[in-house]
A and B are shown apart, each in its own frame.
Chain A
Amino acid sequence: MKKITLALLTALLIAGGVLWIWTTTAPEALVIDQARIRLVAGSGPQGGYFSLHNRTSTAVTLQSASSPAFARVMLHQTRIRDGQSEMQSLQDGVTVAPGESIEFVPGGMHLMLMQALQPLQVGDSVPVVLEFAGQDQQVQSFTHQFVVVPLTP
């Protein structure tokens, strides 16, 4: 009886451990969709938008982003306060609680993609690397394809 209990306990511990590893490291547990870049004419920066669903059991922080197609990518937020529009860098990143989602949308949080290395066209697919830190401060990078869309749908 004792042996069975011990075996069961061991199995549970292993299963628990596997589950813990899966939830903390499995990339599919962070879901990114509607990833898009709104094409603004000219050589200025472009805005990147997406939804991020944290389906892990721990909080994650989107710390930074980069793209081989742009010289620099920054996390930004537009804020309108007393009729004044301001753009701010999200220097501390954006933390998403377990089970929560965040939206990067026009007029709110956005990726500011600076200096496209090649001209972009509607329909292009652009890889963007998103870097996340978990509770253990371990950084994970995910590359996601962002589709270039016209400014107005």
Chain B
Amino acid sequence: MCLLRFFMLSPALLLLLLLSGCQQSEQWHAKDISGLMPKLRFELSNAQGESVTEADYAAQINLLFFGFTNCPDICPTTLAQLAAAVRNLPESIRDQVHILFVSVDPQRDEGGRLAEYAGAFGEQVVGLTGTQDQLQALTRRYRVTYGYDEADANGYYNVSHSSAVFAFDADGQVRLLIRDDLTPAQIAEDMQRLQQNT
């Protein structure tokens, strides 16, 4: 039944993708969402448990992405895609781009586990999480949601989260929505333009 619903939904999704493709500025591979979302702002904790805000990641390009570490499929796929994009950048600007991986599953993703997971994708990947209040404030700000399924007999539960990747420029302004069908080379090109364009 669920599978059926999925296939019924596909044409609508495809149409949506096509439409968003039409509005896209030719300059970018990703979708230009400049001005459509507020500036980067958050209060979260880093993997060492220290409080951090957007000020700790200022004056650099930030890619914001939501997920959780008990996610073996889509989260590592997206993180690997973004990390590969960063590796594609000229060395001179590589350390001016950070991938902010925000776990929306703080109950399981505290401390070491988050650091280990995020760090494996490269130095530019920063694992962050927060209290439910902090996470809700951030996800509401960018009009995304997350939620938890009921736990199974073993206590395992699934987490649903936004698949969006938001790119912010060095001034903290939202600029791009990166789709998962872009190649690392295309994302890297966009990052370079963003870096020159800020």
Contacts and interface: CB of A to CB of B under 8 A. Distances in A.
Interface of A: 38, 40-47, 72, 76, 78-89, 106-107, 110, 112-114, 151-152
Given A84-B162, A85-B160, A78 B76 contact: no
B192 interface: no
Given A40-B117, A107-B77, A84 B160 contact: yes
Contact of A44 (B117, B119, B162): B117
Contacts, number: 86
Given A72-B154, A84-B161, A152-B84, A43 B74 contact: no
Given A44-B117, A72-B154, A151 B160 contact: no
Interface string B2-13: 100010010001
A108 to B, nearest CB: 8
B69 A44 contact: yes
A91 B123 CA distance: 38
B158 A86 contact: yes
Contacts of A82: 13
Contacts of B144: 83-84
Interface string B101-132: 00000000000010011011000000000000
Nearest to B109: A44
Given A83-B164, A88-B158, A151 B80 contact: yes
Interface string B62-90: 00000001111110110010001000000
19 contacts: A38-B72, A40-B120, A41-B119, A42-B69, A42-B116, A44-B69, A80-B180, A83-B163, A83-B164, A84-B145, A84-B161, A85-B74, A85-B160, A85-B163, A88-B158, A107-B180, A112-B72, A151-B76, A151-B80
Interface of B: 2, 6, 9, 13, 69-74, 76-77, 80, 84, 113, 116-117, 119-120, 144-145, 152, 154, 156, 158-164, 180
Interface centre among B71, B73, B161, by most A CB within 10 Å? B73
Contacts of B154: 72
Contacts of A107: 73-74, 77, 180
Contacts of B164: 83
Contacts of A41: 116-117, 119-120
